[in-house]
Amino acid sequence: MALMTSRFADGLATGPDLEAAAESAVRQAVSGLSGPPDLVCFFICGDDPDEVVRAGVRAMRCAPGANIIGCSATGVIGDGQGVELTPSVSAWAATLDGARVTTFALDTLRADDRYVVIGLPDREPDDRVAVLLADPYSFPTDAFVERSSEVLGDLPLIGGMANGLQGRGSVRLFRDGEVHQQGAVGVMLSGAMNVSTVVSQGCRPIGPTMVVTRAEENLLLELAGQPALARLEEIVSALDEDDRELVASGLQIGLAMDEYAERHERGDFLIRGVLGIDPEREAVAIGDVVDVGRTVRFQVRDAAAADEDIYELLEAHQEEFGGVDGALLFSCNGRGSSMFGSSDHDAMALRDTLGPVGVAGFFAAGEVGPVAGHNHVHAFTASILVFSSPRV
């Protein structure tokens, strides 16, 4: 049975008959609303891309008159739980009380020596947020998101990279009766609404904060005047055995988002992966280009840190914004059972902190969300779009 409010509701159905599951999930979500839906989002996990298409078409037919977006995924979230690598469909429906809803489909065209993204709606002064569902194999999501401010200004982008159980070529995207096998789809939400974002990167800092004193592209050559590799080895040698194991399983680095802060603690960084080392140059390669003068701090990610981070962020959100009616959740496919031992962790975190509101989403192959006012693509992250109750 769908968790519901009068304005937002969700649904979840599992089973080998994906078309029946799609119809069930959408009908659960739509029936939980007090009025006709303005927006329906759905997410499908299935073995056969053709079956996913049929299920998506069925889902879109179940909500005539609504704006609709959806995608394939390797796992879905709804009804307070997550389902991974199993035939399933989740759906989310919203009545947005007169807000403007504009769906879109994005594609890329070759123009001289560069690619141009087409299909994005023109910006309007009252635009509040855009949701993006992208095929990571055919759409330049990283470049588009990192440069989104050039076209979108300070508009928040949130969402995730779709996927399919067969990987490349099995991604399917849906928008208002259409099926897309490449590109991206999304929705622009505009007008009067209380909407905000929560991005939980789930990392814990290790060692001190340091200033980048020499760098070349994505190679850190010196940190605080010392060879970067020597600095890293010094930090790791001071860790206990458990943290050394976390370093070995996937070291991260945080790029400080506010250079003027007196202290830089968990949540103050944009997290990027450490890709490797160059012993000859005593350098550390990371998954971003960092300018000299930037403040950084190495990080580790584990279930305890990720659990604490998402609960703290959601509780702080509650204190700042008050009651919540619904949310869309885009959780990394590296979270769920592989990180927490349970597919339900992030969905339950939202239920524990926000209450029994309409929440649905999917396990993404990369998450989109703003940090410190700038849109980024993340990994091992939970990106959440939160709809708060109108203030009295």
Given a cut of 90, whether residue 3 has pLDDT beyond it is no
Given a cut of 90, whether residue 98 has pLDDT beyond it is no
11 near 27, Cβ under 8 Å? yes
Please state, in angstroms and rounded to a whole number, the distance separating the CA atoms of residues 271 and 287: 9
Mean pLDDT of the chain: 93
The token duo for 53 is 């298409």
Share of the chain above pLDDT 90, in %: 84
Helix-strand-coil split of the chain, %, nearest 5:
25, 40, 35
For residue 160, the 8-state DSSP code is: E
What is the Cα gyration radius of the chain? 21
Query: Averaged over 18-25, what is the pLDDT?
Result: 98
Question: What pLDDT does residue 5 have?
Answer: 43
Amino acid sitting at position 193: M
Query: Averaged over 361-382, what is the pLDDT?
Result: 94
Q: Is the dihedral of CA 226, 228, 230, 235 positive or negative?
A: positive
Please state, in angstroms and rounded to a whole number, the distance separating the CA atoms of residues 139 and 352: 35
The token duo for 329 is 């959740």
296 near 229, Cβ under 8 Å? no
Given a cut of 50, whether residue 57 has pLDDT beyond it is yes
Spell out the alpha helix ranges (H) of 32-70: 49-61
Closest CA to 134 of 157, 100, 115: 157
Please state, in angstroms and rounded to a whole number, the distance separating the CA atoms of residues 342 and 112: 48
Q: Where are the domains of the chain?
A: 8-200+305-388, 204-301
Given a cut of 90, whether residue 359 has pLDDT beyond it is yes
Category of 6 on φ-ψ map: left (φ > 0), alpha (ψ -120 to 50) or beta? alpha
Is residue 146 packed enough to be buried (19+ CB in 10 Å), middle (13-18) or exposed (0-12)? middle
Please state, in angstroms and rounded to a whole number, the distance separating the CA atoms of residues 32 and 35: 9
Please state, in angstroms and rounded to a whole number, the distance separating the CA atoms of residues 360 and 329: 6
Question: What pLDDT does residue 249 have?
Answer: 85
pLDDT digits (tens, 9 = 90+) for 147-204: 999 989 999 999 999 999 999 999 999 999 999 999 999 999 999 899 999 999 988 8
pLDDT band with cut points at 50, 70 and 90 for residue 6: confident
Is residue 279 packed enough to be buried (19+ CB in 10 Å), middle (13-18) or exposed (0-12)? exposed
Given a cut of 50, whether residue 44 has pLDDT beyond it is yes
Given a cut of 70, whether residue 124 has pLDDT beyond it is yes
Angle between helices 303-321 and 345-354 (to 10 degrees): 30
Pairing relation of β-strands 8-14 and 88-94?
antiparallel
Query: Averaged over 232-253, what is the pLDDT?
Result: 93
Question: What pLDDT does residue 2 have?
Answer: 42
Residue at token pair 């055919």 = 138
Q: Write the CB contacts of 190 (distance below 8 Å, at least 6 apart in sequence).
A: 99, 100, 101, 102, 124, 126, 127, 128
